[in-house]
Amino acid sequence: MASMKLNTKNLVTDLPAGLVVFLVALPLCLGISLASGAPFFSGLISGIVGGVVVGSLSGSKLSVSGPAAGLAALVLAAITNIGSFDLFLCAVLIAGILQLLMGLARLGGIANYFPSSVIKGMLTSIGVLIIAKQIPHALGYNVAEKGSLGELLSLGDGERFSILQHMNAGVIIICALSIVIMLVWDKPFIKKRIKFIPGALVAVLFSIAINELFKAAQSPLAVTDKFLVQIKAASSPGEFFSFFTFPDFNGFLNSKVIVTGVMIAIIATLETLLSIEAVDNLDPEKNVTNTNRELMAQGIGNAVSGLIGGLPITSVIVRSSANVNAGAKSKISAVFHGLLLLVCVVAIPTLLNLIPLASLAAILLLTGYKLCKISVFTQMAKNGKYQFLPFFITVGVILGIDLLGLYPPLKGEGLLVGVIAGLVVAAIAILHGNLKNSYFFHKETYHDGDIIKIRLAEEVSFLNKAAIRETLDHLPENSTVVIDANNTDYIDFDILELIKEFRDIKAPLKHINCILEGFHEKYQIENRLNVQSVH
């Protein structure tokens, strides 16, 4: 893998860009840890690895990797199902190994074989799941007790909607103000003037300030420690390294861990390849990233992250677009942002521990909303049933399993099952469309003496056999049918046999003139009129 080009020009543009990306990444690393039900330290580890390791090895000049919101729902369910975080880390390691192997096998184009309707369905479902899982944090319900929207809204012990019994006014105020700040900060009149300070960071700093004011005034609205970020502070290098969690390698013998590793590899790969494509489109120099090399870099990054206690890593469009907009020219900016995250973890954990979880929940609520906006549903509906049906089935299955718990044995595996269901529906839609489009059938009327034209498509496979047979079998007696293959490049052997059978046996029985046109010599079926049926 090529090394980074270090020159003064790159440093002048890339160090400020790396600082901007760091400011974007810090709250996201913490927020995604929260959404994943994982230690905050693990989110920061994956941000560091994504910047330093993946940034160094990636072939993309502008892509930035780190923990992804798109994997948060899967990680949360997986940690719960597997039973321990160290076993889950083994799944991250497995995912990394699989991605490395995919890169070596030159499978960088695999995303092209997943219909966009299914991918959008998966991302939309992830958005809904993120929102659902953050509502307790936004309202002040202690996530350590339950934290699942479905559980909070369930009836039990005589309590209806138990979440209403535990709302915290201070948490709600901080979350609401954080959302308002980010929405206002995203308006053009501010965004154009203050380009390089992300709204998420402003919201986090504001939430710290207002909570400190509440504390100073001894207000009942002050948020207590259990609603704040909690990262261990080290007094020595040895103590710092003791904070790392290492995988339980018994996970290689655990079927749940292996399945989770495969799921992470698939989803992380799709997210990365989609992000890389988007970043290449944003790149002013229009560089084209080698996707096979990118998969290898991501695989190594995930393997390292799993080995030292981090979350799964992908290329992330939010960080990457911030990198592009900040004027980055090379990979130095991604690496620098990772180094800044490392310095932050080592030097200022006490400051990080002042961040209210409510402000991180606000960031995630908006992130989830961007993934599942109503406009996504309306646009898919406009694209027609062959796009909307796989999308709707993917969303319905994922949310039915992971949010509503309609089939408890699959709880936590909704993403995988939903994607498979979407792919099956998409495949059926393709086959159905292929069956319908194998030929063009033209007739003026449908009675004795018709002249009927059947124009075959460019490619006609055995999948079209049933449709063509049904059409030929229902042609009226005493008609003339012209089967036109002038524009056809490929006709399956089964179809040729079907046409021969019709011309030589079935057509004469119904007194049908069968005319073949445009059939190439290689088909070994001559172009001629069925003279047996001429009256």
- Single-letter code of the amino acid located at 60: S
Which residue has 């704040």 as its token pair?
228
Average pLDDT of span 219-233: 90
Which contacts qualify for 163-166: CB closer than 8 Å, 24 or more apart? 163/135, 163/136, 163/139, 166/139, 166/140, 166/141, 166/142
Check residue 160 and give its pLDDT: 46
- Single-letter code of the amino acid located at 23: L
Say if residue 445's pLDDT is above 60.
Answer: no
Q: Evaluate whether 46 touches 61 at the Cβ level (below 8 Å).
A: no
CA neighbor of 362 nearest in space, from 171, 93, 94, 508: 171
**CA gap 509, 533 in Å, rounded:** 8
- Domains in the chain, ordered, with CATH? 9-371 (no CATH), 437-533 (3.30.750.24)
pLDDT tens sequence across 68-91: 888 888 899 899 889 899 999 999
Beta-carbon contacts of 428 under 8 Å, excluding residues fewer than 6 positions away, are none
Alpha helices in 37-148 (DSSP H): 40-49, 55-57, 72-82, 85-104, 116-139
pLDDT tens sequence across 138-147: 988 754 444 4
Longest dimension (CA), the chain: 105
User: How many residues are recorded in the chain?
Assistant: 535
pLDDT tens sequence across 175-219: 999 999 999 998 888 877 787 788 899 999 999 999 999 999 999
Check residue 437 and give its pLDDT: 58
Tokens of 191: 């965004």
CB burial of residue 145 (10 Å; 0-12, 13-18, 19+): exposed
The DSSP result for 457-497, as a single string, is -SEE-GGGHHHHHHHHHTPPTT-EEEEE-TT-SEE-HHHHH
Of the listed ranges 57-66, 174-183, 246-255, 475-484, the least confidently predicted one is 475-484
Check residue 145 and give its pLDDT: 42
pLDDT tens sequence across 380-396: 888 888 889 999 999 99
Check residue 295 and give its pLDDT: 96
State percent of the chain over pLDDT 70. 89
Check residue 389 and give its pLDDT: 92
Taking the alpha carbons of 231, 235, 237, 242 in that order, is the dihedral positive or negative? negative
Which among 103-117, 290-304, 361-375 has the top mean pLDDT?
Answer: 290-304
* DSSP 8-state class, residue 516: E
Average pLDDT of span 308-325: 92
Please compute, for residue 384, the number of CA atoms within 13 A of its CA located in the half-sphere on the CB side.
Answer: 5
Better-scored residue on pLDDT, 369 or 7: 369
Say if residue 351's pLDDT is above 70.
Answer: yes
Q: Evaluate whether 358 touches 174 at the Cβ level (below 8 Å).
A: yes
Q: How many CB atoms lie within 10 A of CB 456?
A: 24
Q: Evaluate whether 530 touches 506 at the Cβ level (below 8 Å).
A: no
* End-to-end C-alpha distance for the chain, whole angstroms: 75
Check residue 533 and give its pLDDT: 42
Average pLDDT of span 284-302: 93
Tokens of 322: 């911030």
CA neighbor of 174 nearest in space, from 11, 354, 35: 354
